[in-house]
Structure formats: C-alpha cells, structure tokens
Structure 1
Amino acid sequence: MHAPHEPAPLPRAPNGWPQRLFGRWWRRQSPARQDRYATLGPLVSVLLFLAAIISAFWYLRNE
C-alpha cells in the first residue's frame, strides 16, 4: 500500500527495444537538460501550426 502523499505508480507499457533505449537515454540526462528537451515539443507544435497558417494564406492568395 502507498502512503497517502505518494502518488500511485503509473502502469507500465510493454517495452520494445526503442522504448528501452530512449528511456535509458532520457534517465541519463540531468533534470535541467530534460526540461530543455521537454520544451521542444510545444515549440515544434507552434511552428507547425504557423507553417499551416502560412501555407493556407499562400494557397488562398494563389487561388
């Protein structure tokens, strides 16, 4: 049983070799470096969204 202040463990997915390799690499990173890598996800999504908007305007202008 877990203490009330401790969160329950997350269920683990079956590990394939890419997931094990990535998990090992991720755990070797310092917390500061993990934070830097984690901020790339939202940044990439915003850039992709801007690219979609720009391409939509370009398409409409050429139409």
Structure 2
Amino acid sequence: DRDRDLFYRINSDERVMEFFPFRRDRAAADAKMDEFRAWIAEDGYGFAAAEIIETRQCIGFVGLLDPD
C-alpha cells in the first residue's frame, strides 16, 4: 500500500538517513511498518506518513510513542 512504499523510500534514502546508524532494506522497512501498525491497533496511536495536503507529497513520518 501507499504508506508502506513511502516508508521504505524514506528509510532507504541515503540523504534522509544520513544521521541514522543504518538504512533499512525493503524487508526491514516492511517489518518496522508492521510493528508500527500493531502499536496503533494495540494502543490507538503510533506512526504514520506525513504529507503536504495540497500535493500529497510525502515529507516524512510523524507519531507518538509510549516511552515505556
């Protein structure tokens, strides 16, 4: 689906991930997306793609995470 493709592109982009310790391949990005969706199903909140409303251009992802 659209969010999954965007999440992979963000997580595999060299420039975006410059200050992260690693970039995710497709399998790792899909696994992380599954984890994020499980958090939303369990807790009612989590992470999602962020986009510009007018153009639907993806600009990253945002969300809430329980620190515990």
Quickly name the TM-score band, shorter chain normalised: 0.3 to 0.5
Higher helix fraction: Structure 1 or Structure 2? 1
> Which of structures 1 and 2 has the bigger CA Rg?
1
TM-score norm. by structure 2 comes to: 0.32
**Larger RCO: 1 or 2 (CA < 8 Å, sep 6+):** 2
Q: Which has the higher strand share?
A: 2
TM-score by length of 1: 0.34
